[in-house]
């Protein structure tokens, strides 16, 4: 369980953990959205959010969108801080980093690269069946990644979609060894059959891992003209 302050008024610290985990799994959220998602009153959500921010588990930010004319400021969103994210990380992260550092120092950088490629190929192999059976590869990939602990969603954009991974089980390790992220991006590209571009990663301090997937251009069939 994540560390929280002593509670007042009979508030349950387990509820506070549910609030934090909801943000971890679903990405940056407003107080109103959290209240609706968890079935908690707005006042109750605000108390939990205030304490989670004070404890350094969450960060509060103003969304990067312009408010509609005639309306007030947009509601602030809450996202997982680096400190909060670390509280949910696997306990083997430090051991994995130490092992890869030892491998790199004593056996060569190429072994770390080979390990990253092997891990990415394993992800690719597991995802192939789920993606091949779906009419929408992007959605199927997001669902597969969510099952693997990445809490992924798809968001439509004018020229494609963005695949957002709100959690990264290996963020702490990948911050030390970016080869893991690079190999994973290549695997996503092969799975989708198109070039994809990583726009942000949790491992590099961003709130979400974001990958842009362009919309494929439809090829027009040319009629054959008889001579």
**So what's the pLDDT on residue 74?**
63
CA 198 to chain CA centroid, nearest Å: 12
CA atoms of 188 and 136, how far apart (whole Å):
14
- Residue 202 has a pLDDT of 87
pTM surpassing 0.75? no
Query: Each residue's pLDDT tens digit in the chain (227 positions)?
Result: 454 443 343 356 778 888 988 887 777 889 999 999 999 999 999 999 999 999 898 989 876 544 454 555 567 889 888 778 777 655 456 667 888 888 888 888 888 999 999 999 999 999 998 898 899 999 999 999 988 888 899 999 999 999 999 888 788 788 889 999 999 999 999 999 999 999 999 888 888 899 999 997 654 444 443 43
pLDDT of residue 11: 53
Alpha-carbon span 158 to 182, nearest angstrom: 25
SS3 122: helix
Cα–Cα distances in angstroms (integers) from residue 174 to residues 20, 145, 171, in the given order: 23, 17, 5
Q: Specify the DSSP class assigned to residue 203.
A: G
Report the pLDDT value the prediction gives residue 12, as an integer from 0 to 100. Answer: 64
pLDDT of 9 reads 35
Helix axes 42-54, 31-38, angle to 10 degrees: 120
Distance CA 162, CA 19 (A): 25
Q: Which residues are CB-neighbours of 165 under 8 A, at least 6 positions away?
A: 145, 150, 151, 152, 202, 208, 209, 210, 211
Are residues 31 and 78 in contact, defined by beta-carbon separation less than 8 angstroms? yes
- Sorted by where each starts, the structural domains of the chain and their CATH numbers stand as 13-88 (1.10.10.10), 93-214 (3.90.1520.10)
User: How is residue 203 written in tokens?
Assistant: 């491992």
3-state percent helix, strand, coil for the chain, nearest multiple of 5: 50, 15, 35
């Amino acid at each position: 369980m994540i560390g929280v302050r002593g509670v007042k008024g009979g508030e349950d610290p387990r509820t506070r953990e549910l609030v934090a985990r909801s943000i971890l799994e679903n990405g940056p959220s407003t107080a109103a959205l959290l209240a609706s998602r968890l079935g908690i009153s707005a006042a109750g959500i605000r108390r939990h959010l205030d304490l989670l921010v004070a404890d350094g588990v969450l960060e509060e930010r103003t969304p990067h969108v312009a408010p509609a004319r005639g309306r007030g400021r947009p509601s602030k969103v809450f996202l997982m801080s680096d400190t909060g994210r670390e509280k949910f990380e696997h306990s083997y992260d430090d051991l994995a980093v130490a092992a890869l550092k030892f491998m790199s120092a004593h056996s060569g950088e190429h072994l770390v690269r080979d390990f990253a490629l092997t891990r990415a190929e394993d992800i690719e192999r597991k995802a192939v069946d789920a993606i091949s059976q779906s009419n929408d590869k992007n959605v199927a990939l997001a669902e597969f990644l969510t099952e693997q602990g990445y809490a992924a969603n798809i968001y439509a954009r004018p020229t494609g979609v963005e695949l957002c991974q709100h959690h990264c089980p290996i963020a702490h390790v990948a911050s030390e060894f970016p080869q893991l992220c690079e190999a994973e991006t290549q695997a996503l590209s092969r799975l989708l059959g198109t070039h994809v571009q990583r726009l942000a990663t949790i491992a590099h301090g961003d709130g979400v891992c974001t990958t842009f997937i362009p919309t494929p251009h439809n090829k027009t069939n040319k009629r054959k003209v008889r001579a």
